[in-house]
Amino acid sequence: MRYRYQSLRHLKDHVRQTIHGTLAINSYAVSILGRKVTRPLITHPVEFTFEDGAEPFYALVVRDGITRLASAWAVLAGPDAEAGKAADLVVESLFGDTPAEPAGGASLGERLAAHRQAHRNALTGEFQRATAEDDAERSVPIGQTFVVPADIAVGIEGHLERLLAPEDVFDDAMRSILASVHVEFKAWDTAAQNVEVATRALKRLIQIDDLEVPKEDLQVVYGMAVGRIGPEDLPKEYGDDRLPGTALWRGVQVVHGLTRPQVFGRLKDQAKIIKGGSRMSAKGFADMLGPILDRPWRNAKKAVSKQARNAWGNGGVLTGDVLKEWDPVLTDDFTELVQPAMDGDLDARCTLAVAGGIALIADKLLTRNVGSSLLAAKEKGGVPFRADVPKIVEGLSAPGNELGLWTLALAANRFRHDALPENAQVLRQLIRRDRSHQEGTPYVHLKVDVTHPDKIARDEHGVPVRLLEWDVVWASDPQRAESAWKAQQFRQSPLPMMPVLPAGLREESDPAETDVSPAAEPSADQLSAPVPAARRAEGFQRTLRNALESAQYALDGLTDIDRTAGSWPPVMEAASFGSLRQTLLELQTDLENLRRNIQGDDSLPLEDDDVA
């Protein structure tokens, strides 16, 4: 097998990130310190190659047991070492300052092996000195981690009638072993299992000789599924500059490539063989697609990823028409497809169904409906009627449904892979809104009104109305929605209903805000001087407010890094979360005690209470 990196530095960074991220989430250091690593690692040799022309070399890689290995390094790093320090120790021990360029006639692999041997010799000497000095604090960690058990796979014996190419047989066998291990010991979550099954099934399908679709197209889809090909590579990979290199179009191409009639059934057959099942429905197939499609926005939209994957498990965008023969209509403006779709163009309708459906599902504006959402309040995720997700998408993309087609087109046009829209979060959830995008154009999906020139619904003040899941379901079948709504109103309101004033016309008052001008914090000399207590209290209040604003700024920064850079490795370790949370609780307790001392009661004054 061959692993390819940009450079030796890229490989070092990958190793460090893997160790750091693994230890930040989980560590077996305490167990390993007591009884070593007991279960063998699963490893095999690979060839490391580099795009910058650096000399390739061979080494063993760990395919299963990375947490055990990283935890052993953490033990070796010392009891007070954080995840970052342990990761630095790993990189230093494996690579050191070995340059990629040839030196002294020795190959890169030989120079790296010599460096690792020197590190082992240094550890041996340190262990002997610690043992002689009866220094158990250092000798025990070295003795418990110097050697770890490992199973090394060097080859396999394949079946005579295999579907895979020779170069893919070994990797598929290793993945099969890993899958069986993670069923017996620690099962992968459903999303990870789906990605594993789908990519292995697709790899096998590509090897079939009588496949009726170009294998090059499926190779591109496979590259996108495993993350080797990014959205920006789409025009080059498909040889068409008209194809936008966006995350949404990546999703359209993946869905189209895997649901073509010549591929859909045979891919399901391969997936059933891998999973050991006897049947797989369209919903089961869509469930496999979910975690493959959300790769580009998995971190930015992780707050709603559970609901999105549930929607894919309910069938996603796999309508009856999408499972037929059609070709995506390439465009960077999906509204151009509305009129052809109105006229019955299958390609335009399916393109809108897939692109708009993916956008609505990813942004939690189309979910798997549950009983509690039926005819609930719009703002709380209510829907006028219940239906499976594919039925909603099918209704939205139906010929002649102008409202539904415009809803799909505008959702696809507005979709962003790097953030959640403001209307993706319902009132029931304690999800803090991201402030990083408030200064620019807000990311929000808007309700459609086909009578307006720009197709955007507006309230009586001319303000665009935000799209809700209620509106999406309503647009899929307006007649059914209206009938269900009227029936519900008749049951609940036998008397004439009173009109509800819009939010902008209700009598509401906001508490007045006092603008405090900035001032410098009091120095130690100023605090020790005979300053009136009122002035000193004012200074301390200002210091407290400034500190809280700084804390909020730091938290916003961490949230932004987590949203954009992802959570691998996490921006903060679990231990740090506990310490910070305890500090915040203590601060809140002290503030509450101060309030009670001043006010002399256990109730906060209401905003409407008169203050004497």
Mean pLDDT, to the nearest integer, of 60-81?
89
List pLDDT tens digits, range 443-475.
899 999 999 988 999 988 888 999 999 999 999
Task: Retrieve residue 119's tokens.
Answer: 């590190």
Residue in this structure with the two tokens 């016309």, named with its chain if needed: 505
Residue 498 lies in a domain: no
DSSP per-residue letters across 371-420: GGGBT--GGGT-BSS---HHHHHHHHTSTT-HHHHHHHHHHHHH--TTS-
Give residue 504's pLDDT: 43
pLDDT at res. 255: 95
Q: In whole angstroms, what is the distance from residue 145 CA to residue 69 CA?
A: 9
Q: How far is residue 145's CA from residue 551's CA, in Å, rounded to a whole number? A: 40
Q: Count Cβ atoms below 10 Å from residue 543 Cβ, excluding itself.
A: 14
The secondary element (H helix, E strand) that includes residue 60 is: strand 57-64
Q: What is the pLDDT of residue 161?
A: 58
Question: What's the rounded Cα separation, in Å, for the pair 284 and 281?
Answer: 5
In the predicted structure, residue 529 carries a pLDDT above the cut 70? no
For the segment 5-20, the average pLDDT, to the nearest whole number, is 90
**Quick check: 608 pLDDT over 80?**
no
Question: In terms of domains, do 183 and 260 share one?
Answer: yes
pLDDT of 607 over the 50 cut: no
Within a domain: residue 329?
A: yes
Decide if 573 is inside a domain. no
Same domain? For 174 and 256 the reply is yes
Nearest CA to 54 among 127, 113, 109?
A: 109
Torsion of CA 75, 78, 80, 84, to 10 degrees: -70
Residue 315 forms part of a structural domain: yes
Q: Over pLDDT 70: what percentage of the chain?
A: 82
Does residue 561 have a pLDDT over 60?
Answer: yes
Q: Which domain holds residue 101?
A: 2-152
List the end-to-end C-alpha distance of the chain, in Å, as a whole number: 80
375 and 288 in one domain? Answer: no
Residues 334 and 483 in one domain: yes
> For a pLDDT cut of 90, what percent of the chain falls above it?
30
Q: How confident is the model at residue 568 (pLDDT cuts 50, 70, 90)?
A: low
Identify which has the larger pLDDT, 453 or 437: 453
pLDDT score recorded for residue 324: 92
Average pLDDT over residues 552-564: 77
Instruction: Give residue 4's pLDDT band: very low, low, confident or very high (50, 70, 90).
Output: confident
Q: Which of 492, 519, 552 is the last residue of a domain?
A: 492
Q: Which of 83-97, 194-208, 435-449, 595-609 has the highest mean pLDDT?
A: 83-97
Report the domain count for the chain. 3
194, 196, 198, 201 alpha-carbon torsion, rounded to 10°: -140
**pLDDT higher for 475 or 162?**
475
Q: What is the pLDDT of residue 549?
A: 82
Residues with Cβ within 8 Å of residue 468, at least 6 apart in sequence: 365, 378, 379, 423, 447
Quick one: pLDDT at residue 540? 83
Structure confidence at residue 425 (pLDDT): 56
Q: Averaged over 235-248, what is the pLDDT?
A: 91
What distances in angstroms separate CA 325 from CA 45, 213, 221, 338, one per listed residue?
Answer: 43, 12, 17, 20
Segment among 127-141, 172-186, 469-483 with least mean pLDDT: 172-186
Question: What's the pLDDT at 532?
Answer: 73
Count CA atoms within 13 Å of residue 452 on its CB side: 15
For the cut 70, the answer to whether the pLDDT of residue 511 exceeds it is: no
Q: What is the pLDDT of residues 243-289, one digit of tens each?
A: 999 999 999 999 999 999 988 888 888 888 887 777 888 898 999 89
**Residue 371 region by backbone torsions, left for phi larger than 0, else alpha for psi between -120 and 50, else beta:** alpha
What is the per-residue pLDDT for 586?
Answer: 87
Residue 139 sits in the same domain as residue 208: no
Final residue of a structural domain among 117, 152, 187: 152
* pLDDT for the residue numbered 183: 59
pLDDT, tens digit, 9 for 90 and up, residues 109-160 = 888 999 999 999 999 999 999 889 888 888 898 898 999 999 898 887 766 5
438 pLDDT above the threshold of 50: no
Domain identity same for 271 and 409:
no
- Clarify whether residues 171 and 60 are in a common domain: no
Query: Is residue 382 in some structural domain?
Result: yes
Residues 349, 488 within the same domain: yes
Residues 348 and 446 in one domain: yes
Q: Are residues 315 and 451 in the same domain?
A: yes
CB neighbourhood size of 166 (10 A): 8
Q: Do residues 148 and 166 share a domain?
A: no
Cβ–Cβ contacts within 10 Å for residue 346, how many?
17
Q: Do 118 and 167 share a domain, yes or no?
A: no
Residue 317 belongs to some domain of the structure: yes
Section 370-375 average pLDDT: 64
**pLDDT (0 to 100) of residue 522:** 47
pLDDT digits (tens, 9 = 90+) for 314-352: 999 999 999 999 999 999 999 999 999 999 899 999 999
pLDDT at 329 (0 to 100): 95
pLDDT, position 490: 67
> Which range, 82-96, 570-584, 589-603, has the best average confidence (pLDDT)?
82-96
